[in-house]
Amino acid sequence: MSFLEFNLTPSIVEAVTSMGYKTPTAIQTESIPVAMKGGDILGIAKTGSGKTASFVLPILNKLQHTKPVEKNRQPKVLVLVPTRELAIQVVGVFKEIAYELPRAVRAIAIYGGVSINPQMKAVYGAEILVATPGRLLDLQKSNAVELSKVKILVLDEADKMLNLGFQKEMEQIFRLLPKERQNMLFSATLSDQLTGIKNVLLSDPVVIEIEEKEGGISLINLMGYFVSDDRKGPLLRHLIREKNMQQVLVFTSSGLKADKVAGKLSKNGIQALPIHGKKSQSARMEALRKFKSGELQVLVATDLISRGIDINELPYVINYE
């Protein structure tokens, strides 16, 4: 299978090729043709399986075949995501591909924790919004955005959005959308909560569930250490030093714990920063940027923040709890 077979606009195929994609992943192979036909999709595939391009490519392709309209505050595409980091990452994929296209398409990220004014301005003329629910509603309430012309709705990492308690806000948003539209819901897991939202949102969807192949994680070694709570900190430091770990992502169960673990590492001369929902957006972005570029040795994160975040060949992940 090659990207050529989807009948996508040639410049989209060129763009993904220049991004290093040679063949579509399983979820892309199944989703892209359905999405291109305008059908509703429920796509379940594990993290790292390429869900983003499964909706980005057909969406950009669709827009290539429509005439650019006069600038307004009425986006045609809405992608809802659970975190600010994911909004930035997903909009990055849209932009990278859109950059190569003959018909210009503007995609912007909408998320809280930063000043709302620049986003109010940026919405003007944006055809694609990638948004966290709360800030999108703020913009809507202040008449900076009008959602009645949305033709395509995507929920990315939908299970996480429900876990984070976005259900009410999501339902509020759904009510602002026109009835006639395409819906795509992507998730790493299929939870009971998800079944609920699937039933209200999707009409006669194509369900695409990519099974994890056996041996699919052969590149990953798993190890567990059983220690009492008070020995965890010293063991963590020992492992980082002993194995000379240069890029380590540590998961904790709460923001408070992330602060504590990162603080303790720093005190002991191991470069570490915490990242969680209580941190300012600039601190979060800076920590993530440093970690991705290899400047920062240890990033201590809550699971919720790190969901969907893509880091190439991350060598070490430690689940602290």
With CB under 5 A as the contact rule, the residue among 24, 45, 51, 119 that binds Mg ion is 51
Applying CB under 6 A, among 38, 48, 68, 234 the residue interacting with ligand ADP is 48
Structure tokens that stand for 36 in this block? 């291109």
Rounded to the nearest whole angstrom, what is the least distance from the CB of residue 306 to Mg ion in the complex?
Answer: 12
Q: Which of 237, 310, 316, 320 binds ligand ADP (CB under 6 A)?
A: 310
Taking CB under 6 A as the binding criterion, the range among 49-57, 193-201, 210-218, 277-285 that sits at the site for ligand ADP is: 49-57
What's the closest the beta carbon of residue 102 comes to ligand ADP, in angstroms? Answer: 23
From ligand ADP, Mg ion, none, interface partner of 316 (C-beta below 5 to 8 A by class): none
Which of positions 6-45 make contact with ligand ADP (CB under 6 A)? Answer: 21, 24-25, 28, 45
**Cβ proximity to ligand ADP, 259 vs 310, nearer residue:** 310
Task: Work out the end-to-end distance of the chain between its first and last CA atoms, rounded to an integer number of angstroms.
Answer: 41
Residue type, 223: M
| Contact partner at residue 50 from Mg ion, ligand ADP, none, CB < 5 to 8 Å by partner kind | ligand ADP
The interface with ligand ADP within residues 104-133 (CB under 6 A) comprises none
Q: Least distance (Å) from ligand ADP to the CB of residue 18? A: 12
Q: ∠100-13-48 over CA atoms, to 5°? A: 100
Least CB distance to Mg ion at residue 157 (A):
6
Query: The tokens 């897991």 sit on which residue?
Result: 189
Q: Inter-axis angle of helices 10-18 and 51-64, to 10 degrees? A: 150
How far apart are CB 107 and Mg ion at their closest, in Å?
Answer: 16
79 vs 173: CA distance, rounded Å:
11
The least CB distance from residue 43 to ligand ADP, in Å, is 9
Residue 122 contacts by C-beta under 8 Å, 6 or more apart in sequence? 108
CA distance 286 to 18: 27
Q: Does 255 bind Mg ion (CB under 5 A)?
A: no
What is the three-class DSSP state of 32?
A: helix
Candidates 244, 246, 222; CA nearest to 318 is 222
**Region of 47-55, 63-71, 104-112, 193-201 interacting with ligand ADP (CB under 6 A):** 47-55
Scanning residues 50 to 109, which ones bind ligand ADP (CB under 6 A)?
50-53
Torsion of CA 216, 219, 220, 221, to 10 degrees: 120
HEC secondary structure over 280-320: CHHHHHHHHHHHHHCCCCEEEEEHHHHCCCCCCCCCEEEEC
Chain residues in the site for ligand ADP (CB under 6 A): 21, 24-25, 28, 45, 47-53, 308, 310
Point out which residues bind Mg ion (CB under 5 A).
51, 308
